[in-house]
Amino acid sequence: MTLFEAIYVTPPALTAQAPILVVAGPLIGASAAALSPGARTAWMVSVLTAAFALWMSVAVVTEVAREGVVDYALGGFAPPLGIALRIDALGATLALLIASVGLLGALYSGHALSSEVYPGKHGLFQAGYLLCLAGFLGLVFTGDAFNAFVFLEVSSIGTYALVAVGEARDRRALPAAFNYLIFGTVGATFYVLGVGFLYGATGTLNLVDMSVRLAALGDNFAVQAGLAFIVAGLGVKAAIFPLHGWLPGAYAGAPSLVSVFLAATATKSAIYLIVRFVFDVFPTGGFGQTFLALIVAPLAAAAAIVCSVQAIFEKEVRRILAFSSVAQVGFIMLGISLATTGGLSAGVFYLVAHALMKGALFMGVGALAISVKARTVEEFYGLGREAPWSAAAFAVGAASLAGVPLTMGFLAKWSLIAGALEAGALWVVATLAVGSLLTLVYVGRLLEAMFFRAPLPGATRAHEAPFGVLVPLLVMAGLSVWFGVDSSLPESLSRASATGLIGSAR
Amino acid sequence: MNAIALEASFALNVALLLMLVAIAAAIAWTRSLVAAILLMGVYSLASAVWLVVMDAADVAFTEAVVGAGVSTVVLLGATLLVRPGPVRVDWRRAIAPAVLVVGVGALLVLAVSGLASFGDPSSPANAHVGRSYLVETPNDIGIPNVVTAVLASYRGFDTLGETVVIFAAGIGVALMLGFGPRSSLPQPPVQPGEHHVVLRVTARLLIPLIILFAFYVLFHGDLGAGGGFQAGVILAVAPILHALVFGLHATTAAIPAGFVRGVAALGVLVFAGVGVVCMANGGGFLDYDRLFMPRVEAMIPPGLLGDPTHSHNWGQHFGILLVEVGVLLTVSSTMVTIFYGFAGRATHDVGSAR
Amino acid sequence: MTVGELLILLALGLPLFAALVTFAVGRMPDVRETLMLVACIALCIITMSIFVRAGAGDPPEMMIAQPMAGLEFAFRIEPLGALFGVMASVLWAINSLFSIGYMRGKREPSQTRFYMCFSLAMFGVMGIAMAANLFTLFVFYEILTLATYPLVTHKGDAAARRAGRIYLGTLVGASVVLFVPGIIGVASIAGSTTFTPGGLLPGGTDPAIGNMLLLLLVFGAAKAALIPLHGWLPAAMVAPAPVSALLHAVAVVKAGVFTILKVSAYIFGPELITALPAATWVLWVAAATIVIASLVALSKDDLKARLAWSTVGQLAYISSAAMLPFATGLAAGGMHMVVHAVAKITLFMCAGAIYVATGVTRVSQMAGAGRRMPVVFTLFLIASLSLIGLPPTAGMWSKLLLVNASFGSGEWATAAAMIASSLLSIGYLLPVAFRALFAPPTSLAPDFVRPGGTPGPALVAAILTGIGCIGLFTGAEYIADYLEPLGAITLLETAP
Amino acid sequence: MNFVVTHFNYLAVIVLMMTGLYVLFATGNLIKRMIGLALFQTSTALLYISLGKVAGGTAAIKIYPDSPEAQALAAQLDPAYVAQFGVSGVVYSNPLPHVLILTAIVVGVATLAVGLSIAVRIREAYGTIEADEIEAVRAREPGE
C-alpha cells in the first residue's frame, strides 16, 4: 500500500467525497444511460461512468493507503443511526478491481454488444450494466449489514435481466437466468434472515457497532445461526460448492460482456462480504473462523476437485470456464479459511488474479465468437490461426489459469500453497496440487483445440475481432502477465487487506 | 401494565398468524395456479392486518398495496400470458425439498431460541438503535412519522438503493418484454370496454380521484402512514385503469412507453440529485441539513407549514419530500412499464418467439 | 551491462533467435538450416566462454525480475551449470547436423515446426543451465517440456498423440503436484529459492520436513525418469530419431538429472543429504530402477526401446550419485551426465542412421548389417563400450567414480546394482554391434531402402560424437578438476 | 412450553417461511415457484416485524406527549413501564424493522416482476413453463 500513499489523484474536497461518488456515480450514470437516445450515446455514457468510478476508486485506494480505513457517514448522521460507508484495504482493493474490470468491460461492449443485443435495447442494457457495477461497488463499500442486502439486490436484479438477454444468441439463457433468479433470491433472503438474527441479538446493523456488541455478547445460537445463514446466503452468490448450481448456465448463456463482468466481479464481491463478516464483524478466532474451517473449507476443497473434473468433461467452452470458476472459488475459499495472514492474503491475491484471468478468458471467448458462433470445443478447432490476437490473449488467460510461471496465476497458486504450508495445512497443499493438475488438463484441452487442431471440415472461417474489442481484451490479458512479472501492486494490496482484517501477528 | 389489553392483542396476533399458516398451507396444497395466486393476495391482506396489530402501519399499507395489489396483478398477468395447465404434483420430487425444509427449519428454531422473548421492550433489537430513532427524530428531523424519518433520512441511502432496485426491475422487464405494443401492430378493431358506457364514465371519474389520492398519500407520509412507494403504486393505477377500460393503444398514445421509461430514470436522478446537491453545499451525500445554502434557508417563511412556533428543519423537510417525489416518479413509472410489458405481450401471438 | 550479463542474454537469445529465424524463413530449407547451424556454433562459443569465465572464478550473473518477495527471476552460473550448458550446446550443434541429414533423408513433413521447437527446447535448456534459483529453473524446465511436446507428437497419428499425452501428463503432472509444492516448501522455510553452495536449507531443518521436500523435489523432476515416473520415456520413442537423441542425450532427461544434482548440491547441501533418511530411500528406488531398467532393456527387440530403457537405468546412476552421502558423488554424477550424453546421442544417431538407410528398427533384423554399414556399427560399438564402462572410453572413469563413491559411503546396494547393471548392459548392447559386424550375412540381412545409405551429415555427426566418447577418456580429468568446487576428486587416487 | 409461548411468533414465522421454501423447491411450475419465492420473502419480513414489536407499544408516528391519545395509551400501561421504556410518555414499537421491511417488500416485488417476465419469455421460447419439460427440450438440442 505504500505505493499509493504519496499519490493524489483528486483535489482534497473531492477526495473526501470519493467513497460515495464511487457508488453514486454509476447509479446516476445508469439513469443517464437509460435516458440516452441511441446505442452509441449509451455506450459513451457507460464508458465515461465506468472511467469516473475507476478514478474515484483510485482516489479511495490512495486515501485508504494513508488512513488505513476510510469512513463516510451518509446523510450526515453518525453510525449506528445513519448508514456509513466503511472502506478497508480489502474493500478498496475490490473496488479497484471491480471498477477496472467495469471500465474494460464498458470499452469492450462498444463492439461486442452489437452482435448479441438488439440495438434498440442497448440503452437499457448499458443502464443495467452500470447498475450492476454500482451494486458491486456499493456492496464492497458499505458498512451496514442491511444496506449490503440492498446493493446485493441492486446488482442481482440487473444481473438476472442481463443474463436473460443472452437469449438472442442462445435461448438456454432464459431458463438459466430464471434459475439464477431463484437461487440468487433464496440466497439473498437467507442473507436477510441471517442479518435479522444478528440484529435481533445486537440491535444494530452497523458492522463496526455490531462487532463491538458481538464481542461482548459471547456465544449465542441466534448469532451463530445468523452467521450460518449469512454465509450460506452469500455462498449462493459466491458460488461456493454445492450452492453453485446457477453459475454454469448463467455464465454460458449470458451475453459475453455480462459473462466477463460476472466472472470477474460477482462472486468476488460476495466473497468479500463473507470475509468481512467472518473476520471483521465476528470476534477474531471465534465462531466465524471455526465455521469457515469446519464447514466451508471442506466444501471448497470438494469444489476444487469435483468441479475441475466436471470442467474436464464439459463440451462447451463457456461451461468449461464456468465450472472452472466454481473450482477456483474453492481455491480462494481454501486460502481464506486458513484464517492466517498468509492464507487470507493469498486468498485475496488469488481472487484478483482469478478476476483478471477469467475476465480475459470470457472476453477472449466473446471476441472469438464474434465472427463465428463457436460454442463447443470442437468449434474452437483452429481458431488460433484464424484469429491470432484474440487467441493469444485467450491463451494468456488460460496460462494464468493453469498457473504457468510469469503469469499472475502462478504467483497466486504459489502464495496460496506457501500460505497453506505456513499454516501447516498439508491437506490443503495436496488439494491445491491436485486441483491445479486437473486445471491443466482442461486448459490444455482448450489450447490444443485452438492451436494444434485443424478446423472441422465445413466450419466457417473466423476473422480477427475488431479493434475496439481487441484492445480491452489485450489489456486484460496483459495485466495477468504484468502482475505475473511484477506483483508488487496486487501483492501489497492483498497483504494490506489481510493485515487489516486479522493483524500481522499471526 | 394492563395485562388484559396485552393479552387481547396477543390473542389477535396468534389468531392471525394461525390464519396465515392455514393460507400458506392452502397455497402449498392447491393445484390450481389461479387459486394459488388469489390465495397469495389473501395472504398479503391477512398479513397487512397482522402488521397493523404489530404497530407497523406503513408496512401494512405497503403490503396491502404491493403484496395484495401489484403482486397479484403481475402474477395473474403472467399466468394469462403463459396459459398454464394445472400444476402437476409428483410426490417423489417433493421428498428432497421436504428434507431440506425440515433441516433449515430446525436450524431456525435453534436460532430463535437465542432471541429475546416476543414483545420484550429491553431486547437488544428494541433497546439500541431502534429506540435512538424515537428519541432523536424530533431533534434531527422534526417530522412526526418516525418510520418516514428513518426511511427517507437516517437510512435514506437504503431507500435510494431500493428505488434503484425498482428501476432495475423496470429495466429488466423492459429488456425482456419490450415496451408495450409495437406501433407496427395493427390497432385492434374493437377497443375493450367500448360498449360499456358505465365503465367508461366511472373510469373517467375515478382516474382524477386516484391521482389526487396518490398525492395525498405522498404528502401525508411525513405525518402518518404513507410515502413515495405507496403513492407511486397508487398513481400507477390511473394509467393502468385507463388502459384496461380504453385499451392499451389509447394509453400508450397518451403516455408513450419511452416517456414512462424516462420518468423512471428521472426519479432516480431526482433522488441522487438531492444527494449531490447536499454534497455540493459542503455536506455529505443525502445530508439534507445542507440541502439549502444558509442564505436560501433563511428566506423560507417561518409560517410556511402553518405553525410558526414549531422549529423546523427545512432541509430535512424538503429533502424528504423531494426524495419521496423521486421515489414516486420511479415507482409509478416502473409499475406502468411493467404493466405495458405484460399487457403489450398479450397483443402478440403468444407462443411464437418474438 | 556487464560482459557476463551480455553472455547470459546471448546464450538465451540465440536459441530464441534461431526459433524466430526458422519461423521466418521456413519456406527456404537451405537458408533455414544454414542459419540454424550458424546459431548452433555461435551458441557453442558463448557457452564455452561462460564455461571459462565460471571456471576462472568470475561467474556471470544477472537479475531479470522479482515477481514477489523471495521469488526471483535470475541467472547465475556455477560449474555444474556451465558444464551442462557446454555439453548441451555442443550436442545440439551436432544433433542439428544429424537432424538435417535425417529429416531430409526421410522427407519428413512440417520440418519448420520441428526446427523451431528444437530451438525453443534449447532455449529452455540454456535457462535451466544458468538458473540462479529453483524458481527460474522450474520456469525453463516447463518451457522445455512444452517445447518438446510437439516434437514427440511430430508424426501426428493416434499413437504419437497418445505418447504425447503420456509425456505431457507425466512431466507436467509431476511438476505441479510434486515439484511446485517442493519449491514453495523450500521458499517458505528458507525465504528464497536461490542455489547456495553448501545448501540453502539450514542445517537444523526438521528431518520430517526435509524428507518430504527431498522426495517432492526428486520425484517432481520426473524428467529424471526414476521408477515409477519413467513411463513417459519409452512412450516418447514414437518420435523421430533426432528427437530421441535430443530427449535422451541433450535436453530432457539431462535436465531432469541436472535438476536433481542442483537440488542436492545447492538446496540441501551434502550435510543435510547425509542426515536425511529420504536420501537413502531414493537410493533404493534408484538401485531398483537401475536393475529393473537393465532387465527390461535386455528383453526389448526394438533398438530404440532398448536404448530408452537403458537410459532409464543410466539416469538412475546419476540420481543415485546426487543422493550419496559423499561429496564426490556429485562430481561423479556430473561427469556421468556428460559421458552418458555423448554415448547415448551416438547410439541414437546410429539407430537413426540405420533406420534411414535400411528401414530396420529391430535388433533381430540387424545381423550382418554391419557389412554394409561398417562405420555406423563401429561407432555403435564404441558408444556401447562407453556406456558399459570399458576402456578406452570415457564411461570407464565415471562409472568407476560412481561405484567408488557408493562403496565409500557404504551404500552396498547401490554399488551392487551399478555393477550388475553394467554386466547386463554388456548383454543388451554388445550383441547388437557384434552380430551386425561379425556375424555372417544371412538372407535376412537388410538392404538399403535409401540409395547411398546413411545421409552424409548424419554420418558426420555420429562420427563426431563417437570421437567424443574416446576423447573424453583422456579429458575426464579436466572435467573432474572443473567440478572440484562440488567435491574434490582425483582420478588417479580413485582409479585402481 | 414457555418457550413456545414467548417465541410463538418466531415459530409461526418459521413455519410460514419453510412452507414458502417447500413450494419453491417442490414444484416444477415456474409461476408456482415464483409464488413460493414470494411467500418465503414475505414471511421473512414477518420475522423482522416480530422482532420490533414492543409490548403495549403503538405505531411510531409521534403523538405529542400531552395529547389525549397519549394519555389514553399510557393509562392502559403500568406507569413504571412507560417511564422506563416510553419516549416522552408514550411506548412505541421499534420503527427500524418497519423501515427495513418496507425496503424488503419492494425488493420482493421487483424480483417477482423480473422473474415472471423471464417466465413469460421461457413460455414463448420453449412452449412450456414446467421445468422438467424445458429440461427435456434442452436435452434434445445439439451441443448438449
What mean pLDDT, rounded, does chain D reach? 85
pLDDT band for position B122 (cuts 50, 70, 90): confident
Closest alpha carbon to A148 in A179, A156, A68: A156
Confidence tier at C486 by pLDDT (50, 70, 90): low
- pLDDT, average across residues B165-169: 94
Q: D118, A193: Cβ pair inside 8 Å?
A: no
DSSP line for D57-116? -B-SB---TTSHHHHHHHHTS-HHHHHHH-BTTB-B--HHHHHHHHHHHHHHHHHHHHHH
A197-245 tens-digit pLDDT: 999 999 899 999 998 888 888 778 889 999 999 999 999 999 998 888 8
pLDDT, position D142:
57
Which chain A positions have a beta carbon within 8 Å of C69's beta carbon?
491
| Closest chain A residue by Cα to residue D139 | A172
> Does A245 touch chain D if contact means CB atoms closer than 8 Å?
no
Between CA A187 and CA A128 the distance in angstroms is 21
Q: H or E element: which one contains B301?
A: none
Q: Is a pLDDT exceeding 50 seen at residue A193?
A: yes
Q: List chains adjacent to chain A, taking adjacency as at least 3 C-beta pairs closer than 8 Å.
A: B, C, D
A503 pLDDT tier (thresholds 50, 70, 90): low
**A454 SS3 class:** coil
Mean pLDDT of B118-136: 86
Q: Give me C266's grid cell.
A: 545447492
pLDDT bin (cut points 50, 70, 90) of residue B351 is very low
CB within 8 Å: A174 and D51: no
Of C73, C135, C181, the CB nearest to A433: C181
Q: Band of the pLDDT at B301, cuts 50, 70, 90? A: confident
> For an interface test with B, which of A20, A22, A31 has the most B Cβ atoms less than 10 Å from its Cβ?
A31
Among A386-400, B212-226, C124-138, D23-37, whose mean pLDDT is lowest? B212-226
- Residue in D with minimal Cα distance to A201: D51
Residue-level pLDDT at A51: 95
Does pLDDT of C205 surpass 80?
A: no
- What is the SS3 assignment for C141? helix
Mean pLDDT of A398-415: 90
Question: One-letter amino acid identity for D141?
Answer: E
Cβ pair A393, A476 in contact under 8 A:
yes
Which residues of chain A are at the C interface, by a Cβ-Cβ cutoff of 8 Å? 403-406, 411, 413-415, 417-418, 421-422, 429, 432-434, 436-437, 440, 444, 452, 484-487, 491
Q: What is the DSSP string of C236-250?
A: GGGS-HHHHHIIIII
**D contact test, residue of B117, B120, B331 with most D CBs within 10 A:** B117
Chain A CB within 8 Å of residue B148 CB: no
Specify whether the backbone of D130 is left (phi greater than 0), alpha (psi in -120 to 50) or beta: beta
Size of interface A-C (CB pairs under 8 A): 62
Structural domains of chain D, ranges and CATH numbers in brackets: 2-53+94-140 (1.10.287.3510)
State the average pLDDT over residues C349-366.
80
What span, in angstroms and rounded, lies between the C-alpha atoms of A174 and D18?
27
- Cβ–Cβ below 8 Å for B133 and A20: no
Question: Residue C158's pLDDT is what?
Answer: 80
For A479, the grid coordinates are: 495485466
Confidence of residue C201 (pLDDT cuts 50, 70, 90): confident
What are the pLDDT digits (tens) for A258-293?
999 998 898 999 999 999 999 888 887 778 888 888
Distance, CA of A252 to CA of A244 (rounded, Å): 14
Nearest to A116 by CA among A273, A408, A318: A318
pLDDT at D144: 45
| Cα–chain center distance at B33 | 24
Nearest neighbour of D10 by CB, restricted to B20, B112, B345: B112
Would you say residue B350 has pLDDT above 70? no
Interface confidence (ipTM) of the complex: 0.86
| Interface membership of A131 toward D (CB under 8 Å) | no
B322-331 confidence digits (pLDDT tens): 999 999 999 9
C-alpha triplet C201, C207, C209: angle, nearest 5°: 70
Over residues B306-347, the pLDDT tens digits come to 665 555 677 888 888 899 999 999 999 999 999 888 888 765
Partnered with residue C65 across adjacent β-strands are C73
Tens of pLDDT, residue by residue over C95-115, are: 888 888 777 776 766 777 788
Residue B223 has pLDDT above 50, yes or no: yes
pLDDT average, residue stretch B280-284? 85
Q: Which residues contact B230 (CB under 8 A, 6 or more apart)?
A: B61, B62, B65, B217, B221
Residue with cell 566462454: C49
Regarding predicted confidence, which is higher, A504 or B167? B167
Backbone angles phi, psi at A2, to 5 degrees: -55, -25
Rounded to the nearest angstrom, the minimum Cα separation between A212 and chain B is 13
The minimum CA-CA distance between D68 and chain A, rounded to whole Å, is 31
Banded pLDDT at A373 (limits 50, 70, 90): confident
Q: How far apart are CA B216 and CA D135, in angstroms?
A: 50
Would the pLDDT of A478 be above 70?
A: yes
**pLDDT at residue number A475:** 93
Q: What percent of chain A has pLDDT over 70?
A: 99
Q: What is the pLDDT confidence band of residue C48, given thresholds at 50, 70 and 90?
A: confident
**Residue pair A72/A85 in contact by the 8 Å Cβ criterion:** yes
pLDDT (tens digit per residue) in A294-339: 999 999 999 999 999 999 998 889 999 999 999 999 999 999 999 8
Instruction: State the pLDDT at residue B349.
Output: 41
B vs C contact (3+ beta-carbon pairs below 8 A): no
What pLDDT, on the 0 to 100 scale, is given for residue B51?
A: 92
Q: Which three cell numbers stand for residue A361?
A: 478468458
Q: How far is CA C320 from CA C257, C284, C333, C336, C415, in A?
A: 10, 9, 8, 11, 10
Question: pLDDT grade, residue C446 (50/70/90)?
Answer: low
Chain A within 8 Å of B105 (Cβ-Cβ)? Answer: no
Over residues A75-95, mean pLDDT? 90
Please compute the mean of the pLDDT values over residues C168-175 and round it to a whole number: 86
A257 — contact with chain B (CB < 8 Å)?
no
A76, B139, B297, C6 from B290: Cα distances, Å = 9, 16, 9, 67
Whole-angstrom Cα distance, residue C146 to residue C169?
A: 11
Residues 27-66 of D with CB under 8 A from B: 27-29, 31-32, 34-35, 38-39, 42-43, 45-46, 49-62
Query: What are the tens digits of pLDDT across the range C250-301?
Result: 788 888 889 988 888 888 887 788 788 888 888 888 888 988 888 888 888 8
CB contact under 8 A, D143 and A375: yes
Nearest CA-CA distance, residue D140 and chain B, Å: 19
CB contact under 8 A, C185 and A403: no
pLDDT of amino acid A57: 94
Amino acid at D52: G
Mean pLDDT of chain A, nearest integer: 89
Nearest partner of B263 among B153, B166, B161, judged by Cα: B166
Phi, psi of A372 (to 5 degrees): -125, 145
- pLDDT value at D63 more than 80: no
How many other CB atoms are found less than 10 A from the CB of residue C76?
Answer: 20
- Closest approach of C189 to chain A, Cα-based (Å): 9
Which residue among D43, D97, D117 sits closest to B173, beta carbon to beta carbon?
D117
Q: Please give the Cα distance from C104 to B228 (Å, whole number).
A: 85
d(CA A271, CA A293): 15
Tell whether the model's pLDDT for residue B181 goes beyond 50: no
Question: Is A491–C69 a contact, with Cβ atoms under 8 angstroms apart?
Answer: yes
Give rounded-to-5 percent helix, strand, coil for chain D: 70, 5, 25
Closest CA to D22 of B40, A191, B95: B95
Could you tell me which chains touch chain B, where touching means 3 or more CB pairs under 8 A?
A: A, D
If one compares B264 and C377, the residue with the highest pLDDT of the two is B264
Residue B32, classed as helix, strand or coil, is coil
Q: Which residues of A touch B276 (CB under 8 A)?
A: 24, 28
- Residues of chain B contacting A27 with CB distance shorter than 8 Å: 160, 164, 268, 272
Decide: A162 and A125 in contact? Cβ < 8 Å.
yes
Alpha helix ranges (H) inside chain B: 3-29, 33-53, 57-62, 72-82, 95-112, 124-127, 129-140, 146-149, 156-177, 197-220, 228-246, 248-254, 257-280, 294-298, 314-346
CB within 8 Å: A146 and D134 = no
Residue carrying the nine cell digits 482493493 = A93
Higher pLDDT, residue A411 or C415: A411
Per-residue pLDDT band for C302 (boundaries 50, 70, 90) equals: confident
Question: Can you give the pTM of this predicted structure?
Answer: 0.90
A278 contacts A291 by C-beta, under 8 angstroms: yes
**At CB < 8 Å, which residues of chain C contact A?**
65-69, 71, 73, 135, 138-139, 142, 150, 168, 172-173, 176-178, 180-181, 184-185, 187-188
The predicted structure's pLDDT at residue B332: 93
Nearest to B123 by CA among D76, A209, A199, D80: A199
